[in-house]
Amino acid sequence: MRSKLTLWIILFAATIALVFLTPKLAATQSLPSFPDTHRLIAQSPSQTDSSMSGMNMPRMTQSTTSQPQTDRLIDQILLVWFGLTAIAVLYVAWDALTRNPELTVMKWGWILVTLYTGVVGAALYILSCQEPAPAEHEEFVKPLWKQTLGSTIHCLAGDATGIIVAAAVTAALGLPMWLDVISEYIFGFAFGLLIFQALFMKDMLGGSYLQAVRRSFIPEWLSMNAVMAGMIPVMVILMSRDMNAMEATSLRFWGVMSLATLVGFVVAFPVNMWLVAVGLKHGMGTVRALGKGGHSLAVERNQIEATSGEMPAPNASTHQTNEESEDDMTDMKGM
């Protein structure tokens, strides 16, 4: 319990640090202010010449030299952040791939999200998904908030990956901001739906890839919009104020992406909680409990009965491609 409390404190402190870092990052390209400039314009030429001769030029130089100091401070903070991120990713990858009985798609989801969110992602993994003792994982991940966290991580891993890749490509091509945003939305949604949802979860959603796309579309679209609602404003505001943040070779770019992913997670969490609560999405689980593909027929029947009130036929199969008796809500069910 003491170690879990420590992790929560560290998580809270990291969030506060990011909140205070954001305005500093946004102000890195602000132009220095010259409060006396308008007075010079209103003065006559003779007055201007005399006033310029008495101007304190070193004071102006001091205000402009403070900017590189701020830039260096932010770069140093980002270096520390990404150093800790590398350690966090290595730990989560080692634990998830060697000790955690979670589904494979969730293991890689946690690794990707930790890559984007650093120590925050690692702390969330330990608090919600790391198996506390052998054969106790199923009971450990039962609470709704942990199921919601798993659902959000699964969505974020696909959507954020697509958004970040699209942002890097559009930045390299020098596309305008509005086209950049549209490309990120389309690519993020396509990657999340067609890869992380339908392809990785097709066994869970009936065995057919096309049916998996159809049944995942609405839940993924709702969750994706929440992720975008958090990520896009952060990216647009910070990148428009700092041109260095628009270059994929800059630390600022990846710092903005990390912060945007964290904000996207916060916005998407309540949406995913509702989707999990009504049965449109699933959270975390193991092969031991759910069977191969992450879903057993018994679980499927229980979900259908709970969400639609219908009882599937005794010979129903999760590999059927035409389930005419299922309610439309069941057809939209995703991970």
CB 334 within 8 A of CB 214: no
The pair of structure tokens assigned to 31 is 């132009």
Can you give the pTM of this predicted structure? 0.68
How far apart are the two ends of the chain, measured CA to CA in Å?
30
pLDDT of residue 136: 84
Q: At residue 121, does pLDDT exceed 90? A: yes
In a domain, 249, yes or no: yes
In a domain, 7, yes or no: yes
Please name which of 262, 244, 234 lies closest in space to residue 116, comparing C-alpha atoms.
Answer: 262
Q: What is the pLDDT of residues 26-74, one digit of tens each?
A: 444 444 434 444 433 444 444 444 444 454 544 544 545 566 788 888 8
The pair of structure tokens assigned to 273 is 């909680």
More confident: 94 or 292:
94
CB 257 within 8 A of CB 122: no
In a domain, 40, yes or no: no
Return d(Cα 295, Cα 289) in angstroms, integer: 8
Q: Which helix (H) or strand (E) holds 16?
A: helix 2-26
Instruction: Give the list of residues 6+ apart from residue 136 with CB closer than 8 angstroms, or none.
Output: none
In a domain, 52, yes or no: no
* Domain extent for 11: 2-27+67-331
The SS3 call for residue 129 is coil
Q: What is the mean pLDDT of the chain?
A: 74
CB 153 within 8 A of CB 174: no
pLDDT of residue 166: 92
Q: At residue 270, does pLDDT exceed 80? A: yes
CB 112 within 8 A of CB 161: yes
In a domain, 305, yes or no: yes
Return d(Cα 54, Cα 48) in angstroms, integer: 10
In a domain, 300, yes or no: yes
pLDDT of residue 206: 59
Number of compact structural domains in the chain: 1
Q: What is the pLDDT of residues 185-240, one digit of tens each?
A: 999 888 888 887 777 666 655 567 787 778 778 888 999 999 999 999 999 899 88
Please state, for a pLDDT cut of 90, what percent of the chain lies above it: 32
Please name which of 206, 113, 129 lies closest in space to residue 163, comparing C-alpha atoms.
Answer: 113
- Mean pLDDT, to the nearest integer, of 239-247? 84
The pair of structure tokens assigned to 70 is 């701020």
Beta partners for 120? none
In a domain, 35, yes or no: no
In a domain, 194, yes or no: yes
- Mean pLDDT, to the nearest integer, of 287-299? 46
